[in-house]
Chain A
Amino acid sequence: MIDPWIGGALALFFILCACGVVLTAATRGVYPLRALLVFSSACSVLMMFASAAALASGHSFAIDLWSLEGWGRFSIRLDMLSAIFLFAAGLVYLPASLFVRNLVEVRFRGRYPMRRYGVLHFALMASVVLILVANDAPLFLISWECMSVLCYFLVNYEQSARTDIRAGYIMLVMSEAGFLAALVAFLILGRGTPDWSFSSLAGMAQHLSGSAVWGVFLLGFLGFGVKAGLVPVNFWLPRSYTAAPAVFVPVFAGVTLNLGFYGILRLDAQLMSNHSVGTGLFALVTGSITALVGILYATTENDLKKMLAHSSIENAGIIVAAVGASLVFHASGHAVAAAIALTAALYHMVNHSVYKTLLFQGVGEVEAATGTREMDRLGGLARLLPGLSVVFLVGCLSISAIPPFNGFVSEWLTLQCLLRSAVLLSSAVKVLFALCGACLALTAALAVTCFVKVYAMSFLGIRRGDWRHGPGQAGRTQFPLAYLAVACLLLGILPTYVIPVLNRAVEPLAGASAAASLVPPFFSATPENQQLPPAFVDDFHNLGAQTGRHVLPGRGLVVLVRGSEKNPVVFAMSTSYSFVALAIFLLVTWFVATRGSRQRSVTRHELWAGGIPRLLPEMTYTATGFSNPVRVVFQAIFRPNIVEDSRETVAVHFRTAILRRRDETHFVDRLLFHPVGEAVGWLARLLAGMHHGRLNAYVAYTLAFLLIILVLFRLS
């Protein structure tokens, strides 16, 4: 009985998308923008509605669109995994749609021809949903290709500078390469399949040989990893995030990045359930390295947008590391551990979408207000944009994994999963787990440094640059940002309600329930909670847990159980309780401070700066200065080249200038992109005949290639 609702919602979604395209394209003046706002928000609500309905009912919705004789069927299916991704997409599409208005009204008035933007926007939305609900390879791949091309157009939307166009171009090339890898993976997987639906592909996967499993896994992993931003195929990401218009980046980071994980999970986790420990380890190690490299570059970055792009890479790394851990646990038969790791990955994916959208929108606002994104030149924004500074702080706290915000929960789960490697047998694997755990712990620590820097250098302190004051915030809605900030908090303090929902997607993949283990009805000690020895539960009660038994909601704790009857150890945490405790603590402090028994007068003085008459902006830490220790410690990775080291003097010895300019080639660029780029350049000269220099032609090549391969396979 839920099916009509879901089907209706999806149908309505596509209808509204079509209407949106038509209306934004056909109207003029303020109407394209209004159409965009109204229809796009409605679409995102529908996305959330459909997925929420599916998740709530636990019922997958499936429908055949049409079948083409000899080509198989085009069918869609909204299963639990799709639903989670769809929900996350809807969650961030809503503020992202509303946010368009803020930016358009303030800074980009006249710069955005809203009509073209609207068409691309709705088309991308539709293709994203199609990717998520596609139930067969052709529909999935075609939608994927559409999404890639649309992303390219959106990234290049402003087309202001050559570098941006180049960035878009690199992105397109990488997406196409990733697409081809994924295509080949599907083709290997589905050789001899009766149809290309996912279910039959999953059946085919059982018969693959070991090396074919590796091949499909790697092709899929790297192919989809392009979108997810994994090392070593992520060098396009910071470039194009920086180039993309401020209204689009949140979608980029909050939605399309996730599609990469979706692809990996769909192909590598769901369709191929028979992989080895090795593939999982590969994912784990790649993820950990990605996370570390991402956060290192984020920490030392000066451009807010680029910094967030690198931080997206970091988060992608964490997610993939958790996925990898899950695969390893799965392959070695620890279903519960695998389920927990997968839960962590999905949780982190959702969290990242939310706070990254928030942060990117915040940066968009900052740029709109000041005209710059350089942290070295910002400072003191808290006074200029008080509202923004609060929500941005929430975003920074979330992404730095500070309780009670959402990032903490998922990173805690991820790290705890890696610690659970004790259940694994091979000591080599254990060592690898430990190393990756250390890597991720370091990442988490650097993330705090990074976002302390971001917040302190941009929002606190005194203004350093000579940027103009932008228009005030009067009349502009803060709803999108506030909405995201609340989402950060809720996802943070209510993990016990989120995990069971995620579990619906996790259970079929991992073959075990994470919720039963993570969110036991602990205080009631019912038979459901059999994993804990009863004596131990009693002990735990005696330790004081029972004090809250009747007062606190029993589902406040997230528990990671380890230990045996002899050695009952419990790892548990509760962000909801700590949130309550924190709130009480703050209230009491506030009460004591303001209403305390003794009247104290608070006087405010200037900042103490050693007695100099006035602290000048030049005398305050810059973002570069703040992060320089990281740069120095990790010199081996950054490998700065000193491209200029000049000391100028007049009259022989009066220094007038000291300039040391460093040039850094990104780790991945240095090791991979540049060598490959040179090789490709060499190849390209060979194939010069095919070069028209026109993009459409290259896209056409790809589509032609796709058709040829499909035909060939059909014939064979």
Chain B
Amino acid sequence: MHADPAGVLTGTHFLDGDHACCEGCLAAGARFASGYPITPSTEVVERFASRIPTVGGTFIQMEDELAASICLQGAVWGGAKAFTVTSGPGFSLMMEHIGYAAMTETPCVFVNVQRGGPSTGLPTLPAQADMMQARWGSHGDYGIIAICPNSPQECFDLTIKAFNLSEQYRVPVMVMMDEVVGHMTEKVVIPSADQLDVTPRKHTHKSPADYLPYQCNGDGSLVPEMAHAGEGYKFHITGLTHDERGYPNMTVKVQDQLVRRLCAKIENAKDLVAYEAENLEGADVVVVSYGITSRVAQRAIDQARAQGLKVGKLRLIIAWPFPEKVIRELAPKVKAFVVPELNLGQMVREVERAARGAAKTIHVGHAGGGVHQPEAIVKAIVEANQ
């Protein structure tokens, strides 16, 4: 389906990542946002608050992130596409509701413009230290999708992708930006609405008499069809373990079926792999990076190549689910993976796990507050090559 032109600001713009993300939300068809101010993410909803009354829709500034992160889910069940935006401390407060969205299969988007932590940390400075929290932060087993833009253009493009995937899989999708990407200003090209694909809600075509909210259709899809409040379905939604009718059923059997499906619909999906690859063929060292760090890594890769080293580049666009197979198949062919990230060791654990000992894994950590010096990454590449 094409985007609704009302939300598409077609043209060539000079935007920061936060504003581009907001335009991505609007282009994707999001007409509802609930938020609570927090640096460095607030500009996303500030722009939404200014744009939405002229597009048609609602922004509400809630009393806290607990409220913001569930308010948007009410809006989704009322029939809207909806999102919230936050950073570190606010993301921590939202965790219970990421689990609620996963459990109730509420399609929605959580944008996290990452800043330094823990706690209040570095409110105005970047980090990439919420990557594990994005995957595992809510209690229990579940699957989510996390996507990592590295430029304002991607803040636009990948936010649309985030909405589309959330609708396709009925899952909360995290847009994992960082302070630098959020605040850097670059050219952003917004195409016309008819060139933008948006995924409509997976709405049921069944009559209320035939509809069960959590029944999969038997077509192999693990994603059930949705209905909205006010359409006559009189359905029940709960965060308790539930059967196909949506009714609580706290048995080991139903728990097993439900939780395995919630994980499998994401982990087994074939089209949830998105990365940028360069010179992987014949590489001795592959640099695995994402978000802002991928742009610093590019400089390091160029410098190492200038020294005659065979360096490949693997940039994660979708970080969760982790592209395990890609790393696993690459590992026996390379000497090492170098993983720079603005944390003290998060996605590197996934790389190491997926490599299964077939290649060295070298982390280039940074506690946050700035980006890496490319030299630190070059040094790691040189060491890895030995």
Q: Are A and B bound to each other? A: no
Chain B residues close to A by CB (< 8 Å): none
